[in-house]
Structure 1
Amino acid sequence: MLKRKSLFILILTINVAFSQNTNCFDVARKGNLSDIKLLFDNDKNSVNAIDDKGSSMLILACYRGNQEVAQFLIENGANLNYVSNNGTALMACVFKSEFLLVDELIKKSVNLDLTDVNGLTALMLAVQFKNTEMVKKLLNAKANTTLKCKQNKTAFEYAVFSNNEEIINLLK
């Protein structure tokens, strides 16, 4: 009887732990401010949880455009410079054109020049997406224009390839 109770408690504990871990990533993707606050109140270290694919909660929130959760994570100790297989939180914000979150990351001194697995920076991504306003924002924040990706191209070379005169002129 004691073994059964112990086994039951162990299984229950594993299930609760697994569901909490799963829930934190669900909160990052589609939760709201009260969800993330509750999660944070229960476990302050959850702000830097990494999912099974290597993405942080902040990166997931940024890719999903979940601004209020991403903002909370930024303000409450999330690793702003964590690099996953899908890049960084800044790259996710550039990809989704999340200007307000980019501003918040810049205010918190995010490293603008981190690279993804292909050696691309957030600036290079903004250039590739022909997002002139994002390019301006990153340049104003002093993103490095001389870095080269694994294909040995700079942001300027991506701009030339894109044929976007305004971005080309910004990078000259």
Structure 2
Amino acid sequence: MFLQKETPLANAAFWAARRGNLTLLKLLLNSGRVDVDCRDSYGTTLLMVAAYAGHIDCVKELVLQGADINLQRESGTTALFFAAQQGHDDVVRFLFRFGASTEFRTKDGGTALLAASQYGHMQVVDTLLKHGANIHDQLYDGATALFLAAQGGYLDVIRLLLSSGAKVNQPRQDGTAPLWIASQMGHSEAVRVMLLRGAERDAARKDGTTALLKAANEGYNDVIEELLKFSPSLGILKNGTSALHAAVLSGNIKTVALLLEAGADPSLRNKANKLPAELTKNERILRLLRSKEGHRKS
């Protein structure tokens, strides 16, 4: 932990950097009584604070007065990370002019590229990639920039990352692929884009669940319609159940109808030996299931 003494003048400088008060910041720095790289108890510097807030004039002043651009906070974050996280592309570009590095990591493995992708800052992602950021960066749990963008449904970022060489099927350590997380979150356009770019429609997490099963469980019919265009598995999955079972359990009538129309078999039993019809008392859903069963028998 950083045990630097926090003086009243240093606290005033942090306030000025946070608020974008360039006049006060310059006055304090020029007094010779505030170190340009002074830190708070967490290792935060004036430059990090100004970069986070997007105050480009304060950032420029601090850098020109000799601030160390690549210092890391206790958590591992740098000024570049904060600027990227908050979407301040002008700050990011300026920091690169003075030697900012994309390689520093936070305690969970985060980088500036991962942060920008997670919050959907397409222009910042583009700038970072053009300055050497590694598109294959991963958090320590295996989440990639594409995974984080897919989680947020940020289409522009997803398209940029895919066109820059991101692996559409790169899973997290628990087996969760970008398509799976986008489906769980209900981002149908993101699902469509990734399917068109080669995402494996039936890729399963370690728990055996697929994108279709998660969408069925949540009742995300727009996602289901996109997935059904690519003929995903409608049978019993490795986890012992089917998307139809999940849809019946969720109680979403339209979801059940979509799956039945696509050919889901209502006579399949799950690992508990239950038919989909045995998982609900909803009469409309039961009528749908019986109707389909009747068509199959005939």
Give the TM-score category using the shorter length.
0.7 to 0.9
Counterpart of 1:102, as a letter, is: V
Matched, 1:68 2:90: yes
Give structure 2 stretches of 5+ with no counterpart.
1-6, 11-32, 40-44, 199-298
Aligned-pair identity (%): 24
Equivalent pairs counted in the alignment come to: 160
Instruction: Identify which of structures 1 and 2 has the higher relative contact order when contacts are C-alpha pairs closer than 8 Å and 6+ apart.
Output: 1
Q: What residue number does 2:195 align with?
A: 169
Instruction: Give CA-to-partner distance per residue, 1:92-126, whole Å, 9 cap, x none.
Output: 21223222111111211210111113210110011
Task: Give the TM-score, by structure 2 length.
Answer: 0.48
Matched, 1:20 2:55: no
Pairwise CA RMSD: 2.7
Q: What residue number does 1:7 align with?
A: none
Inter-partner Cα distance in structure 1 for 2:162 and 2:146: 8
Q: CA deviation at 1:38?
A: 2.0
| Alignment counterpart, residue 127 of structure 1, candidates 150, 168, 183 | 150
Q: What residue number does 1:96 align with?
A: 119
Matched, 1:150 2:177: no
Instruction: Give CA-to-partner distance per residue, 1:17-62, whole Å, 9 cap, x none.
Output: 4873331221121252222222222226x11111122211111112
Q: Is contact 2:89-2:127 (8 Å) kept? A: no
Q: Is contact 2:37-2:46 (8 Å) kept? A: yes
Matched, 1:118 2:141: yes
Instruction: Give CA-to-partner distance per residue, 1:117-151, whole Å, 9 cap, x none.
Output: 32101100111111222111100011123432121
Q: Is contact 1:94-1:102 (8 Å) kept? A: yes
Which segment drifts farther, 80-89 or 124-133?
A: 80-89
Give structure 1 stretches of 5+ with no counterpart.
1-10
| Alignment counterpart, residue 84 of structure 1, candidates 106, 109, 115 | 106
Flag the structure with larger Rg.
Answer: 2
SS at match of 2:38: helix
Task: Give the TM-score, by structure 1 length.
Answer: 0.78
Residues 75 and 19 of structure 1: CA distance in aligned 2, closer, same or farther (over 3 Å): closer
Q: What residue number does 2:292 align with?
A: none
SS at match of 1:91: helix
